[in-house]
Amino acid sequence: MSIAELQAYGYVGAMVVLVFISYGYAYHLYTKKKDASGKDYEEYSNMALRDDITDTPVSARSEHKKK
């Protein structure tokens, strides 16, 4: 086995590992949409699409702040 074959096998192995890590991370993001406080930040991803003046806000605002 030459060094070129060893590098090729190492490259293929590294790509397989990186693909599994990438798909695992994407799966984690789509299955756990809420953070620890319970806020779903996926609603904010459509903020750029719903930016007309007549569109409803993403989250409701209250008049008084919590203390």
Which of 30, 50, 52 has the alpha carbon at shortest distance from 40?
30
- pLDDT for 28 equals 84
Domain membership of residue 31 (yes or no) is yes
Residue 56 lies in a domain: no
Q: Is residue 41 part of a domain?
A: yes
In a domain, 14, yes or no: yes
- Identify the pLDDT of residue 7: 96
Residue 55 maps to a domain = no
Residue 29 lies in a domain: yes
Residue 16: which H helix or E strand, with range?
helix 3-31
Of 32, 34, 53, 31, the C-alpha closest to 44 is 34
Q: Is residue 33 part of a domain?
A: yes
Question: What average pLDDT does range 24-42 have in this prediction?
Answer: 75
Give the global pTM.
0.52
Q: What are the angstrom distances between the C-alpha of 13 and each of 1, 3, 9, 53, 54?
A: 16, 15, 6, 51, 52
* The two three-digit tokens of residue 50, written as one number: 């719903």
Counted domains in the chain: 1
**Structural domain boundaries, residue 27:** 3-46
Is the residue at 67 inside a domain?
no
Evaluate if residue 67 carries a pLDDT over 60: no
